[in-house]
Amino acid sequence: MKIIHTLILALFISTSIFAQKFDREKIKALKIAHITEQLDLTESEAQKFWPIYNANEDAENKLRESSTNRRKDKKPEELSETEAKSLLLAMEKTEKQKVELHSKMLNELLEILPAKKIIKLYQAERSFRQKMFEEYKKRHSKQ
- 43 domain residue, yes or no: no
pLDDT for the residue 25: 86
Range of the domain at 59: 51-108
- 24 domain residue, yes or no: no
pLDDT for the residue 22: 56
Residue ranges of E strands in the chain: none
- 84 domain residue, yes or no: yes
- 60 domain residue, yes or no: yes
Listed residue (50, 26, 34, 48) closest to 123, CA to CA: 34
The more confident residue out of 4 and 52 is 52
- 5 domain residue, yes or no: no
Q: How many domains does the chain have?
A: 1
- 116 domain residue, yes or no: no
- The pLDDT confidence band at residue 143, using thresholds 50, 70 and 90, is low
Give the pLDDT mean for 48-68: 94
Give the pLDDT mean for 42-63: 95
pLDDT (tens digit per residue) in 67-78: 888 877 778 888
pLDDT for the residue 45: 94
- 93 domain residue, yes or no: yes
pLDDT (tens digit per residue) in 84-124: 899 899 999 999 999 999 999 999 999 999 999 999 999 99
- 117 domain residue, yes or no: no
Please determine, for residue 10, whether its predicted confidence score (pLDDT) is greater than 90: no
Taking the C-alpha atoms of residue 136 and residue 131, their distance in angstroms, rounded to an integer, is 9
Quick one: DSSP state of residue 15?
H
Taking the C-alpha atoms of residue 5 and residue 97, their distance in angstroms, rounded to an integer, is 17
Contact predicate 39/117, CB 8 Å: yes
Please determine, for residue 79, whether its predicted confidence score (pLDDT) is greater than 50: yes
